[in-house]
Amino acid sequence: MDLLGLSVLALALGHVFSNAVRTVPALAADVLQRDLGVTAEGLAALTGAFPAAFALAMLPVGVALDRWGVKPTALALMAIAGAGALLGAVATGPWSMLLAQCVLGIGCSGMLMCPVTYAAKHLPPQKFGLWGGVIQAFGNTGMLLSASPLALLVEAVGWRAGYLACALLAAGAATAVALLVRESRTGMQARRSLAEDARDVVALGLSREIRGPVVIAFASFAAVLGVRGLWGGPWLMEVRDLSRIEAGNVLLLCTFALIAGPAIAGLLERRFQHRRRGLLVGGHLGGAAAIVAMVAAGAAGLPVVADALLLVAFGLVISFQVICFALVRAAVPPERVGRALSAMNISFFGGAAVFQAASGFAAAWAGIGAALLVFAAGLVACTLLFLRLPGPR
């Protein structure tokens, strides 16, 4: 692998950290509720602060990526994220955990955009879709840490050790970026004011060119975070009566699918570039169907193997969300790609904050199955709206 590839993977280590730290609650929800003194709805609200802070931070991150470059932006964010993980490890109540989640959300806000923007600026468009899938697949390995390994760690030491392990991962990622990433600076960004750059991010998100990807993104990552990052563990442990270790093993299968899925999606996107929209729509409707089928399987008392298979199917098909990045990259020139991708990422995580809050109310009203169905409904609604909007192909 050449230096460019190593640089992209070094930057993607931040995405590994982000996926690990934001999915810690999936297998530690019960002990987090006990130690922080919150209900399931309260924990959903606390962890919902992560995507909310993430979405708010994307505006300055998008500006920073195009104005000051990927490497300094990535190093600053990794330092903030590491501090957030340490705050999570020492949290003693809801307010201190809320602070930790907000700091983590800010720090993680550019962990995917940094490698994606770097790749978009240094790779030809025909290779970007494939590398977008590689970045997402590599980053999703972070969820491996919050599956069976986290379950074992929580059982042996406690949930705080999970956040400490993530802090060490952030330090390792920052070291790799400092040593491996090379970036040439251009002076053109300095000609614009910060306010103009910020307005450009907002305008890009509302523009005809990328409006479609922005809309479908609103429910896309929300479903991943809701199913794999929050409610998957409680569903398996509380509704399906699995132990923490057994639930971790099932979620591990889903994680493997979330790792393989983006790579497969990237290959298919490159092979069928003229059918990008169809692949994206099919993946999101398929993800919604998998969630509904899993809730129905639980209600019908089917064996847990059905949940495992459906979680694997969900992980594979929802991974076609990486095509959103290829659609946006195709719609804007390289000098605006950082802001355009950040505009879409605001939708990714803003939607996650909205749907996660809604799922908390649904769980309090009708149980964990209802919380999961919130994400299925969101996927269907946003996908149908996407089909009605013009946009890049």
pLDDT in tens, the chain (393 residues): 577 778 888 999 999 999 888 878 777 878 888 999 988 778 888 888 888 888 788 778 877 887 788 999 999 999 999 999 999 999 999 999 999 999 999 999 889 889 988 887 777 766 766 677 788 778 878 877 766 777 788 788 888 988 998 999 999 999 999 999 887 665 444 456 666 766 777 777 777 778 888 899 999 989 998 998 788 988 999 999 999 889 888 988 998 998 888 888 878 877 777 788 899 999 999 999 999 999 999 999 999 999 999 999 999 999 999 888 888 877 777 667 767 777 887 888 888 888 988 998 999 899 999 999 999 999 999 999 999 886 555
Report pTM: 0.75
CB atoms within 10 A of CB 364: 15
Residues 132, 136, 139, 145, Cα dihedral to 10°: -160
Q: Which helix (H) or strand (E) holds 345?
A: helix 337-366
- Is CATH 1.20.1250.20 correct for 3-173+195-387? yes
Check if the beta carbon of residue 117 is closer than 8 Å to that of residue 68: no
Amino acid present at 40: A
CB atoms within 10 A of CB 151: 25
351 SS3 class: helix
**What pLDDT does residue 146 have?**
66
Residues 127, 132, 135, 136, Cα dihedral to 10°: -150
The C-alpha angle 85, 86, 87, rounded to 5 degrees, equals 90
**What pLDDT does residue 187 have?**
47
* SS percent in the chain: helix, strand, coil, step 5: 85, 0, 15
The count of C-alpha atoms lying within 13 angstroms of the C-alpha of 284, restricted to the half-sphere facing its C-beta, is: 31
For residue 109, give Cα distances in angstroms to 14, 56, 92: 10, 9, 25
How far, in Å, CA of 128 to CA of 332, rounded? 13
How far, in Å, CA of 250 to CA of 227, rounded? 12
